[in-house]
Structure formats: structure tokens, C-alpha cells
Amino acid sequence: MLKLSTFVVGCVLAASVLSAQKLDFQDTGAPLKPAVVDAQIAAALKDVSVPVIRRNIETLVAFKTRLSIGSAETLPPGVGAIAASEYIKGKFEEYSKACGGCLEVKTDDFIQPASKANGSRVLRDARMVNVYAVLKGTDPAQAKRIYLITGHYDTRNTDVMDAHGDAPGANDDTSGTAVSMECARVLSKHKFPATIIFLTVPGEEQGLQASAHFAKMARSEGWDLEGVLNNDIVGGNTTPGETHQSKTRIRVFSENVPQNATVDEMKRLIQYGNESDTPSRELARETLDVSRTYFHVPPATPADSKLPYTLSPVMQMRLDRYGRGGDHRSFNNQGFAAVRLTEWREDYNHQHNNVRVENGVQYGDLLQYDDFDYIAKVARLNAATLATMASAPGQPKSATMFAQNQDNNSVMSFTASDGAPSDTWYQVVWRETSASDWQYASNAAKYSDMVKGAAHTITVPISKDNVYFGIRSCDAHGHCSAAVAPVPAVPVRPELQPAK
């Protein structure tokens, strides 16, 4: 008869063997490590200024209501969205002068026509002005690649049609506007191979009108816009008595199935489980990857939450909050990768409300609830992400997974991005199917069947059924692009073809 002690020892030994066993995705490559800190990017992050951010927010709040339809009405001098746009333009010009004219300051000034459609928020023709500054890339072969940051400077109170009532909008979204402005100020002092655009838009509260106009312009002009960071409500709302707000987290929202995907493309994504590996999701993962290099994530102690480099972006596996929308969607609708960054926990008494005290509760989006240290952290995260992407080679193109091979190898092919430097190398990253972020990585060249010219075919000894793969372009300094997920070109069997 087997003694209990013998049985227990046997179970322990069996468990030990199982725990020591490496699965194929663990035995190949290594856990993904943070990239080496870039001294130029670190200097830019150090330059982010809490006082400068605060002054910009205070000045914009002083323009009172900035509802975009107010441009169709008579407002007092120094009030309204148009006056605010002139201030932003002046600051961009100031930053450009400081860097010897390195920024091209421009406006996308247009009339949003009135609409009598049900639910319209523009009942009279309204002037809207997108203000932006372009930091042109220094590498002629890569300068056409563009990365963009945006925030909306228009505001509203309880009545979305009230262009006269006070709407300070200190958080929604003066905070995001200030982040875009501060990124322009600090990054304009440095040079990057690819182009960065710092954008501020009105019209968000009128149905994303101005960002939609800008995104359509980018599409019609054929911009190679690889990533858009939309900062909306990033003020780190601080309400007395609030115990669940986190000053070390920021949410990153992203779409899964692209807004402009065809029916066949949607079916293909769902069939292979790639609906969470779309361009916007990969852009969200890029912000997480950058944070591992430049931020303490997570904070080691509660005291660390006050450090300037403590911020953890959190993947939110949805396009936006329930029943809400943001300007990143305008870019998604045009087929661009775009994400939204938003503070961890919103206080709805302090957005979309008339300024008042009711039953002892203060309503209104007021300056007193902004956390300027938190906004500076958000600006650093954005600056680091923009600078990393603008320093890295462009994303690999035409990434394909071969689905025909019925074995435990994963065979992928891709081509180099246009203008990729001669020292570009490629990194394969992967994660378990239950994970939301990349876990492991390897230099793709180690598993290459063919690495020459612009075309590459890679065989990795990992079952494609148990992980999700991505491929990144990296330079000699360790700057890596957002990953691109290899998508099966054709199904394994004809009967798996998407229905017409």
C-alpha cells in the first residue's frame, strides 16, 4: 500500500518537474526588457515644466466659455474659442522663435456649415480653427512619416448650445491642450528623423467636427500618419474626499476592429483572433513599452507616486468610455492608428456642468481640481512616446503569417519601411493569447531564412496557435517602432474563406 508521505513526495516532485519545464514560447527568446534610455529624450522629459503648464491652463481658462459655435455670435473681447486659438498660435510661434524657426506654425481655418439634422450641435455656420505646429523630420528619407499629438481647447457647460455661460474647462480639455503645447515646447529643442505634429482643435463638444476636418485633410493629402495620441481629460482630477483616484495611472483607450475595415477584413480579424492586434492597439502597447524605459512602473512605495517619473499607462480594451467619444475617433475613421489618454477616475460633477454650488456640492470644471504635477507626468509620457517613435525606423510593411504550414513553427514575412536606415534590425515580440501586452522578444535575424534587401522571411520555433506575434523595426540605438501583427494572407482551407 502506498504510504501518504510517498504520495506527497511524488506530487511535489511532479509539480517541480512541471514548473521547471519551459514551453516553446518561453524557451525561445527572452522576457521583453525595457529599452536603453536615450539621453536626448531624457533631457526633454526633464525640461517639462509644471509652472509653464499651469500658466497655459490658467490663461486658457480666462477665455471663459470656448464653445466653438460661439464664433457665430458676438462675444466680449478676449472671450471664446477664436481668442483662445490666437493665444495658442502665439505660443507655438514663441516656441518656434526659441528654436530658430524649427516649427512651422499653421492653422486649418474653416467654416463648419450649419445643420438642421436631428441632434445637430451646429445650428449656424461656425468658424473653427485648428492650430498646429510641425517639427519637420531631419532625415529626408524618413521625414514623411508623421506622429501627432492633440487635445481640444473648446469647452462647454451643462447646455451644449450655450455659447455665453461660463465654461472654464480646466480639465476637459484644457489639460490635454496644455500637454500638446508643452510637448511642442520641449521637443522643438531636439531633432528627430521623422516628423512630429503638435495639434490643438476646437469642435470636440460639437461632435468632433474640427478633428474630423483635420483627419480628412490628412487622408486627402496622403499623409503617412503612423500614430495619433489624443489627450482628453488628463488633469488628474482632485476632489476633496476622493479616495479612488490614482496619480500613478493613466488609461489608454484604443479601437480593436478598425472603423473603416471592410466586412471581409473584419471577418478575417475575428477568424484568426487578431481583433486585438490592430494598428491602434499596437500604438497603445507602444506607450506601455516606452513607459517601461522612462517611468518607474509600478511605484515601489506609496511615496513614489509623487515622483515626476512615476506613471503607468493601462491598456483599456475598448475605443472609449461608455457613451462617450473623443477626437482619436476622427483619425480612426480615416484609417489612422490613434489612441485616447484619460485620467484614471473622472468626476462628472466637474465636467459638462454649470459652475455652481448646489446642496453643498461644487459643480464646474474648475482650476482648483487640476493636478498640475500629474499633467506634467502625462506630458512626459507623451513626449517620450512621440520622440521614441520619431527616432525609430518606420513600422514593417506587409507583415504576413503563413497559415498553410501545419507544424509548430511560425513563418512570417514582411518588408522594410520606406527609407529604413541601413542599420535597421527587426525584433519579433510575442505574448500568450490571454495576455494584453507583449511579454517576450527576440532579434528576428536569429530566426531568419532570408535577411537581405527589403524583404524578410522569418521562421520562429513557436506554435502560432498559442501566442500572438508582432514585428518591430529598431535602430542601432534601440529605438523600436510600434509592432505590426502578421495577418494570414489566405485561410488554410478554401471553406474558411470569408463569406461574400
Residue 447 class from Cβ within 10 Å (0-12 exposed, 13-18 middle, 19+ buried)?
Answer: buried
What confidence tier does 450 reach under pLDDT thresholds 50, 70, 90? very low
Average pLDDT, the chain: 90
Which has more pLDDT, 222 or 446? 222
| pLDDT digit string, tens, across residues 292-306 | 999 987 667 777 777
CA distances 75 to 158, 166, 201, 204, Å, are 19, 12, 20, 20
pLDDT at 309: 86
Q: What is the maximum span of the chain, computed from C-alpha positions, in angstroms?
A: 96
| pLDDT digit string, tens, across residues 70-81 | 998 888 999 999
Q: Is the pLDDT of residue 1 over 50?
A: no
pLDDT at 306: 74
What confidence tier does 259 reach under pLDDT thresholds 50, 70, 90? confident
pLDDT at 357: 96
Which has more pLDDT, 121 or 500? 121
pLDDT at 20: 65
pLDDT at 490: 61
Q: Is the pLDDT of residue 491 over 80?
A: no
pTM (global) more than 0.75: yes
CATH class held by domain 39-391: alpha beta
Q: Is the pLDDT of residue 19 over 80?
A: no
Angle between helices 81-98 and 50-61 (to 10 degrees): 150
Over residues 410-437, mean pLDDT: 92
Q: Is the pLDDT of residue 492 over 60?
A: no
Over residues 64-89, mean pLDDT: 93
Looking at the DSSP bridge assignments, the partners of residue 457 are: 413, 450
- CATH tag, 394-496: 2.60.40.10
What confidence tier does 141 reach under pLDDT thresholds 50, 70, 90? very high
Boundaries of every domain in the chain: 39-391, 394-496
Residue 71 class from Cβ within 10 Å (0-12 exposed, 13-18 middle, 19+ buried)?
Answer: buried
